[in-house]
Amino acid sequence: MLLDKTIELALRCHKCGRLEKTKFNIFELRDGHFLDLKCSCGSAKARIKEKGEKHLQLEYNCVLCDGHHRRLFDKKDFWSSNSINQIKCLKTGLEIGFYGPSSLIDDELNKQKNELEIMADELGLNDYQKPELLLEVFNIVHDRATFSKLYCECGSNDIDVKLYFNKIELKCRNCGSTLNISAETEEQLNEIKNKDKIIIKNINMTKSGWSDNKYKGE
């Protein structure tokens, strides 16, 4: 009888936002040393190791709260899992990844891809140049707003969002200031993903460093 002790883990990268899968097996975790799981962008997403005789310890960087989480899994349940299991942001409780058998991971990724296409259609993005990029940038903007990290220098966080074929326009409803975020390339997606805050320059304040009112974050 052949026992398959291989698991795939799909986790969204905290740097570039990509959701990629990584496959590893029980023999790669030995002697209590961490196995590093990296994104194709080069960033370290997570690491996993055996913790004693009965547990596995997973540590991962979170795309939602920018924190570092640690979870313990029962070793037997982890390797014998026959279902999709969520990996969550421990601060918000929201899913940022999952693990399980390879076939189920592929099914889940295809499901999410289809849902993304449906969402793009509902938002009217199918006629856009790169709807997937635009939607990912939109999701990042939404996440920043959720954690009160999207606001105008005038002090308002009442922001109007408009989607164009190659950018997202943010407009402060209090002072009328605007900020355009380009969404045409992977580099532009990575740039906004790496910014902790999205701040709209107040047109009534000094223009130092903001003369072109292009994207800026902290």
What's the pLDDT tens digit per position in 101-159?
888 888 888 887 776 666 666 656 555 556 667 777 887 888 788 778 899 999 898 99
In this structure, the answer to whether residues 10 and 111 fall within a common structural domain is yes
pTM of the predicted protein model: 0.58
In this structure, the answer to whether residues 145 and 49 fall within a common structural domain is no
Q: Give domain status of residue 1, yes or no.
A: no
Lowest-confidence region among 10-14, 152-156, 192-196: 192-196
Count: domains in the chain: 2
pLDDT, tens digit (0-9, with 9 covering 90-100), for 180-189? 998 878 788 8
pLDDT of residue 209: 36
Confidence category of residue 162, pLDDT binned at 50, 70, 90: confident
How buried is residue 34: exposed, middle or buried, by Cβ count under 10 Å (0-12/13-18/19+)? middle
pLDDT of residue 17: 76
Which structural domain range is residue 88 located in? 6-115
In this structure, the answer to whether residues 21 and 104 fall within a common structural domain is yes
In this structure, the answer to whether residues 88 and 188 fall within a common structural domain is no
Q: Is the distance from CB of 154 to CB of 202 less than 8 angstroms?
A: yes
In this structure, the answer to whether residues 80 and 166 fall within a common structural domain is no
In this structure, the answer to whether residues 61 and 127 fall within a common structural domain is no
Tokens read off for 65: 């709260």
Q: Nearest 5°: CA angle at 33, between 37 and 94?
A: 40
In this structure, the answer to whether residues 111 and 140 fall within a common structural domain is no
Q: Give domain status of residue 136, yes or no.
A: yes
User: Which residue did the predictor score with more confidence, 38 or 205?
Assistant: 38
pLDDT, tens digit (0-9, with 9 covering 90-100), for 55-95? 999 999 988 788 899 999 999 899 888 889 999 989 888 88
Q: Give domain status of residue 171, yes or no.
A: yes
In this structure, the answer to whether residues 170 and 154 fall within a common structural domain is yes
In this structure, the answer to whether residues 18 and 109 fall within a common structural domain is yes
Q: Give domain status of residue 146, yes or no.
A: yes
Q: Give domain status of residue 218, yes or no.
A: no
